[in-house]
Amino acid sequence: MSSAVVSTSAALGRPFVFDGKAVPEVSLPAEPTEGRPPQRVRPSLSGATADPRLAHVTPASQLDIRPAPEMVSSGISALDALTGGLPRGCLTEICGPASSGRTTLLLAALAAATQRGEFCAVVDASDALDPQSAAASGVELDRLLWVRCSENSPPKSRAKQECPISRASLAREACPELVEWVGTSSQVAFDFERTNSRQSEHCLEQVLRATDLLLESGGFGLIVLDLGDLPQQAARRIPLTTWFRFRRAVENKPTILLAIEQHPIAGSCSSLLLQLGSVDELATERRKNAAHGANRGLAVREEAPEGRKKINLPAQPEFDFPCPPHAQLFTGLDITAELIRSRLDRKPTRSVIFETKAAWAG
């Protein structure tokens, strides 16, 4: 689908252009009567073509046609079949809730881009990228620039700080059945939300500025704006002008700008909008049953995956599930991708389902 660029001339004295002929808008000489503006009249076509000032004006029918953007592979063949790939020089939005396959698609696109020899950048609003998953997906880490914009600084000692030992946890450790629900007063909750909101704003500001700088720098084949964990209220605060600026900055460049979010927020600035979701609840049940497949005649791995040891629990009580959890394995997700909008394709909404597999699923 291509579109023609048409310019209009509304200023006084500028010509109106029709196919093949230009008609200037001219002013009559000033009337002798004072206080009246000069009257504008449109002369006949025969007289207009003789005006040498119109020689440089290009008729609308001869204007250049905006070329269709180059499409490159997203790394997932089912998606490529649905959308034709990801368009260069355009903004692409991929939205969906948690566990809908957004990050899987992001890593697949990164892997495809880095394997093409391009340099990529991820502006990570929530510091959520998992290096092991990226490496397993085939991303060449040397070619990936990761900007971590989260407010939380990485702990120096993970064993000590990521898993702090508190009295409550020790108590839970001593008595596993004991459940402690944290009771917070309304004031504490209010302060916590306000602090979160402030952090989100600060983080969002960092993300947008970093994206601006990377787009300005140029030379990247794929720039990913990962807003997947950003609260919806914070994401909605991004002004539409920012998306217009991004779209303009990436235009005419061989860069793909990919935004990952929970809900579409860029409006008409995005050339491609994909809505992801895990397969509906029934399908989830199927997934769940597939994981129990030992009893249902489906394939399941009885042995523990590499790097994981099976634990012999002292006493196996009754389960609601047909087989114990240590005999089950998470093998992947079924993802539904729905093409909501594409500037290049005006066909009705379509969708595709594709499977992903866990790194240990073989």
Partner 1 sequence: MPFACIYVPNFPVAAALRAEPELQARPVAILEGKPPLEKTIAVNEKAARMGIAPGMTKAQAELCPKLALRLRSPLQESAAHAALLDCAQSFSPCVEDAACDTALLDLAGMESLLGPLPAISRAIYNRATALGLAANIAIASNPDAAVLAARGFPGVTVIPAGEEAEQLGPLPTEVLFANRLEDAPKEDEQKKAAARLLETLDRWGIRNLRGLAALPAVSLSERLGQAGLRLQQLARGTASRTLVPVEAPPVFEEAVELEHPIVLLEPLAFLLNRLLEQICARLGSRALATQELRLTLGLENLTSSNQQSAINNQQFVRTLRLPLPMLDSKVFLKLLQLDLNAHPPGAPIMKIHLAAEPARPRSAQGGLFLPPSPEPEKLELTLARIAGMVGENKVGALELLDTHHPDGFRMRRFVAEVARKTPQKKSPDSAAATAAITALRRFRPPLRADVILENDQPVRVACPKKKDVQGDVLWKAGPWRASGDWWEREAWSRDEWDLALRNGDAVSFYRLVHDLLGGWFVEGTYD
By CB under 8 A, tell whether 286 contacts partner 1. Answer: no
Sign of the C-alpha dihedral computed for residues 315, 319, 323 and 326 taken in this order: negative
Q: Which one of residues 19, 34, 64, 142 is an interface residue with partner 1 (CB under 8 A)? A: 142
List the interface residues with partner 1, window 166-195 (CB under 8 A).
166, 168-169, 172-173, 176-177, 179-182, 184, 192
Tokens 């397969």, residue located: 279
Residue 134: CB minimum distance to partner 1, A: 7
Q: Which one of residues 36, 158, 346, 347 is an interface residue with partner 1 (CB under 8 A)? A: 158
By CB under 8 A, tell whether 294 contacts partner 1. Answer: no
By CB under 8 A, tell whether 313 contacts partner 1. Answer: yes
Residue 244: CB minimum distance to partner 1, A: 22
* Residue 22 or 276 having the CB closest to partner 1: 276
Q: Which tokens is 224 given?
A: 């990913």
Residue 347: CB minimum distance to partner 1, A: 22
By CB under 8 A, tell whether 317 contacts partner 1. Answer: yes
Q: What is the dihedral of CA 75, 81, 82, 88, to 10 degrees?
A: 50
By CB under 8 A, tell whether 115 contacts partner 1. Answer: yes
Region from 22-30, 38-46, 239-247, 304-312 binding partner 1, contact rule CB under 8 A = 304-312
By CB under 8 A, the count of residues binding partner 1 is 115
The whole-angstrom separation of Cα 99 and Cα 282 is 16
By CB under 8 A, tell whether 87 contacts partner 1. Answer: no
Planar angle of CA 134, 272, 229, nearest 5 degrees: 45
Q: What is the dihedral of CA 93, 95, 101, 102, to 10 degrees?
A: 50
By CB under 8 A, tell whether 104 contacts partner 1. Answer: yes
Please enumerate in sequence order all residues whose Cβ is within 8 A of that of 150, keeping only pairs 6 or more positions apart, or say none: 124, 125, 126, 127, 203
List the interface residues with partner 1, window 325-344 (CB under 8 A).
325-326, 328-330, 332-333
Helix axes 186-217, 240-250, angle to 10 degrees: 20
Collapsing DSSP to helix, strand or coil, 123 comes out as strand
By CB under 8 A, tell whether 291 contacts partner 1. Answer: yes
Tokens 């000692």, residue located: 157
List the interface residues with partner 1, window 9-48 (CB under 8 A).
none
Collapsing DSSP to helix, strand or coil, 339 comes out as strand
Rg over CA atoms, the chain: 29
Residue 77: CB minimum distance to partner 1, A: 5
- Of 244, 224, 235, 268, the residue nearest 114 (C-alpha): 224
Q: Which one of residues 3, 8, 33, 157 is an interface residue with partner 1 (CB under 8 A)? A: 157
By CB under 8 A, tell whether 118 contacts partner 1. Answer: yes
